[in-house]
A and B are shown apart, each in its own frame.
Chain A
Amino acid sequence: MDRKKKIEEAIEQTLQHFESAERLQSSPFFFTKLQARIEGLKRGANQRYRSAFGLLRFALLMLLLIWNVVTVTYLLGTDQSEAYERSEMISAFAEVYALELDD
């Protein structure tokens, strides 16, 4: 019985340590380290913004280039087909009126 009482006393004493638990003091460098991390975060965010903007600029430039190539190709193709149609019309006209063409 005494032993059981002793055990219960030890348990109660142990549970008292909830109230008297060791409290840590923060290190004097805690705030400095935290500031450095926050600054690193800001720098990282700026870098991400700059690289995203740079990527967008590059993408727009490529789009413009592709558009120019497509346009020029289309225009050149159109000129050639118009020239061909004109020549066909001239030949047909000459044939109808039995005209001679200079080759």
Chain B
Amino acid sequence: MPDERLPKSNQCEVSDFNALVDQYQERILNLCYRFVNHREDAEDVAQDVFVEIYRSIGNFRGDSKLATWIHSIAVRKSLDFIRKKKRKKRFGQVKRFLGLDEAENELFAPRSSQPEVVVETQEQATILREAVESLSEKQRIAVILNKYEELSYAEVAVVMGTTVSAVDALIQRGMKNLRKKLYRYYRENLEN
């Protein structure tokens, strides 16, 4: 990502803010979508992100890239949204149980009622998304930022407030868990 730093004044003029929104809105929308998996929710969260940017631009110390700072806010807002949604669902009907840390859990079966049907390519994206969603929180964040959003390990480390080696470990473990989950899934659902 190119190095973008705010002017020293840290004042957010309207035109600057509009330019910032124009530059980042799709990137942030898609990042939020990776977490919340729902278009309308992703738009709501992305709006929250830009409102937060507007309110707290004066607190940006410029010790990281602007894009990294914006990504941090987007990750935080997305996770807040997911937690809020879970709290609302707690007393509702439980659709599926999300594992904690590295606990194993099942992915959804293919939409076809016939498990022997070969999984179509277009469903593979959904299966991958669900597998990522079932990872532990930190692994999920690291995998989404690095694999979907193509942030470098260093950038992921800044966004997550951790070290590069920790990010490396999270991504290694995350990918290992993804392969395990996918293996179990295809073992049960792939035709012979």
Beyond the given A15-B182, A18-B128, A24-B26, please list 11 additional residue pairs across the A-B interface where CB-CB is below 8 A. A3-B190, A6-B190, A10-B186, A11-B182, A13-B124, A24-B29, A26-B25, A34-B50, A38-B17, A38-B51, A41-B51
Are the CB atoms of B26 and A37 closer together than 8 Å?
Answer: no
For window 35-59 of B, CB contacts with A under 8 Å fall at 39, 42-43, 46-47, 50-51, 54-55
What's the least CB distance linking A41 to chain B, in Å?
7
Are the CB atoms of A24 and B42 closer together than 8 Å?
Answer: yes
Which residues of the other chain, B, contact A30 by a CB distance below 8 angstroms? 25, 29, 43, 46-47
Determine if A73 is an interface residue (Cβ-Cβ < 8 Å): no
Minimal Cβ-Cβ distance residue in A for B123 = A14
Interface mask (B121-150 → A, CB under 8 Å = 1, otherwise 0)? 100110110010000000000000001100
Which residues of the other chain, B, contact A86 by a CB distance below 8 angstroms? none
15 inter-chain pairs at a CB distance below 8 angstroms, sorted by A residue, are A3-B190, A3-B192, A13-B124, A15-B178, A18-B128, A18-B147, A24-B29, A24-B42, A25-B26, A26-B26, A26-B46, A27-B43, A31-B25, A33-B47, A34-B47
Are the CB atoms of B55 and A41 closer together than 8 Å?
Answer: yes
Which residues of the other chain, B, contact A33 by a CB distance below 8 angstroms? 47
Chain B contact residue count (CB 8 A cutoff): 36
> A3-B192, A18-B147 given as contacts; is B54 within 8 A of A26 (CB)?
no
Chain A contact residue count (CB 8 A cutoff): 25
CB within 8 Å of B: which residues of A?
3, 6-7, 10-11, 13-15, 17-18, 20-27, 30-31, 33-34, 37-38, 41
For window 86-123 of B, CB contacts with A under 8 Å fall at 119, 121
> A23-B26, A24-B29, A26-B29 given as contacts; is B47 within 8 A of A14 (CB)?
no
Are the CB atoms of A14 and B127 closer together than 8 Å?
Answer: yes
Q: Shortest 10 CB-CB distances between A and B: which pairs?
A: A18-B147, A17-B125, A14-B124, A7-B186, A11-B182, A10-B186, A17-B128, A26-B25, A14-B128, A26-B26
Compute how far the CA of A1 lies from the CA of B182 in the bound complex, rounded to whole angstroms: 17
Minimal Cβ-Cβ distance residue in A for B192 = A3
Minimal Cβ-Cβ distance residue in A for B22 = A31
Determine if B60 is an interface residue (Cβ-Cβ < 8 Å): no
Which residues of the other chain, B, contact A7 by a CB distance below 8 angstroms? 183, 186-187, 190
Determine if B30 is an interface residue (Cβ-Cβ < 8 Å): yes
Determine if B179 is an interface residue (Cβ-Cβ < 8 Å): yes
Which residues of the other chain, B, contact A13 by a CB distance below 8 angstroms? 121, 124
Compute how far the CA of A47 lies from the CA of B52 in the bound complex, rounded to whole angstroms: 20
Which residues of the other chain, A, contact B186 by a CB distance below 8 angstroms? 6-7, 10-11
